[in-house]
Amino acid sequence: MRKVEVVPLRGIPEVSPGADLARLILDAIRREKLRLRSGDVIVIKQKAVSKAEGRLVALAKVRPGPKARRLAAAQGKDPRLVELILRESVRVVRAGHGVIITETRHGFVCANSGVDQSNVKSGYVALLPVDPDRSAARIREALRRATGKDPAVVISDTFGRPWRKGQTDVAIGSSGISPLSSYVGAKDRFGYELRVTEPALVDEVASAAELATGKLRGIPAVVIRGVEYRRSEGGVKTLVMEKSRDLFR
């Protein structure tokens, strides 16, 4: 069993639209006196990616429609915020107790379609990247061009979970790492053959990274070293459950 290291990349400045995230990450890696290796996993917070891609919206420019106004009144929310939540979703899964759970265009089921006011300047909100897997692939390719090394890239965000309090970070985009680690067909220590065990490795990596980034430390990325994984270009989209197999619809 290899040792797993999680190294926070400190000193990355506030990310602005058009920022070169790969360059900011490489500069931070050098400040930590590290060298990027093939096999490293770079985990980047969604907010940094959304800012770099210009996925920021000024609430003052949003004109809520009738549906947004009704839902906002029922849940005690800003109608402009609810309008953006609806625009970013394909359906409202459930609303109550001041919470709006939606299914996003990516297939994620989460609060507020991932629309978030935290860690952005006053009067603005951040939206999820349009295609987080593609975002991860672009950053990975830029890192490869700059260094000749081949890391994996995971983009993480904070999600709640049904039936449990609290939130945890999960992967919303990835490149170069298989999202699942399959143990199907392997035998446990007692000889039992595993039939369905497939840990969501990219979610485990995202959650481990959050231990180093935190919510208030201003650290948008980490290097994780020592994780064993298979190469894959499938991306997080492959984790979204098919409707025909979803027991909760």
The domains of the chain, with CATH numbers, are 5-53+129-241 (3.30.1330.100), 57-125 (3.90.1660.10)
pLDDT in tens, 180-226: 987 666 777 777 776 767 889 999 999 999 999 987 788 999 999 99
pTM of this structure: 0.93
Residue 118 DSSP SS3: coil
Statement: residue 167 has pLDDT above 80:
yes
**CA-based nearest residue to 177, from 41, 45, 49:** 41
pLDDT in tens, 50-106: 999 999 999 999 999 999 999 999 999 999 999 999 999 999 999 999 999 999 999
Length of the chain: 249
